[in-house]
Amino acid sequence: MKMKLKANFIKDWHEYLKEILTNHWGFDVSQINDKDLPLAYFNAESRRIDQRKRNIEISDVFQCPPEVASGWSKIQAKIKNGCDITPHLSKLVDRIDSTDLMLNDWGIYHFHLGAELDGEFIKRTGPLLFAFVTDNCFYVINIYQHGEWTNSDIVEIIHRNWPSIIKHYIINHAKLAYYATDKERKILRSKHANSFVEVTDGTVYAPIGGGMVSSGHNVKSVIRIDKQHKFLKHLQNSLESELIKIRPDLEKQGYNGEPELIANLEITETEYRAVFPEYAFVAVLHKKA
């Protein structure tokens, strides 16, 4: 009799993300449809900055107002020492339904520069630090006032100081027929519409944060979800085609020719596994790079 696999790896992955959102990040996901969990997860993940030591590079125009100098010194120390800088982010980082349009459009984070905690967050400040953050480096753009989310000088400064980190977003041999003003870009963002930026030397950039879909979420998140779903379907199909090969191992665990085999996906830090709960058997499907 043919062995039939009963599994739903995509659903299992959604449950895995739900567990992280609720038990690790403290979000209430009761109002989110299961199919929307990956989007909520990647949105929350992108808004948080993982805790690791980073080098700091400062732009050629950076100036720190005296009233936030103490806060600037403190956040520098945290960045260099790999401390948690989440308290410096917007309080909206704790809202599962909130999207950061500047982050999704340009990949720019903004940080409050208070010197003391006010609850779980640093005391809010008018002047804000804008920065582009990678795994290894914290690129300090400048200090801006609250609301300067569409100031095109931000992209100009990154282009002038660190062109290599955004070169993948250059639209070659392009020139904009119409250049959106900062005010117009704000309106476009509010409608979740993407726009290009042309800097003073004529270089044209697509959204360096990835851009937005109609919901306001990041395009990169949608692409990651699609790739992951395809990958999980491949894992599940591969497992089903290999059932006959692992049958001897299952029989050692009590399998006796039952036509249907239940398997659940388990994801660890290093690998993807198929767990057969009825037989206490685990098959490694894929090792993470």
pLDDT tens digits for 128-140? 999 999 999 999 9
Ordered DSSP codes for 194-251 = ---EE-TTS-EE--TT--B-TTS-BHHHHHHHHHHHHHHHHHHHHHHHTHHHHHHHHH
* pLDDT above 80 for 229: yes
Which pLDDT value is given to residue 284? 96
Contact 117, 110 (CB under 8 A): no
pLDDT band at 177 (very low <50, low <70, confident <90, very high): confident
Residue 34: CB partners within 8 Å, gap ≥ 6?
11, 14, 18
Residues 18-44 have a mean pLDDT of 94
* pLDDT above 80 for 237: yes
pLDDT band at 6 (very low <50, low <70, confident <90, very high): very high
pLDDT band at 175 (very low <50, low <70, confident <90, very high): confident
* pLDDT above 80 for 38: yes
CA distance 210 to 104: 6
Contact 155, 106 (CB under 8 A): yes
Average predicted confidence (pLDDT) for the chain: 95
pLDDT band at 1 (very low <50, low <70, confident <90, very high): low
Residue 184: CB partners within 8 Å, gap ≥ 6?
none
Q: What is the DSSP letter of 111?
A: E
* pLDDT above 70 for 231: yes
Residues 45-64 have a mean pLDDT of 97
pLDDT band at 122 (very low <50, low <70, confident <90, very high): very high
The tokens of 273 are what? 């596994």
pTM as predicted? 0.91
pLDDT band at 214 (very low <50, low <70, confident <90, very high): very high
What three-state secondary structure class fits 153?
Answer: helix
Q: Could you identify the residue written with the tokens 């290599």?
A: 164
* pLDDT above 70 for 239: yes
- Residue 230 backbone phi and psi in degrees, to 5: -65, -40
pLDDT band at 289 (very low <50, low <70, confident <90, very high): confident
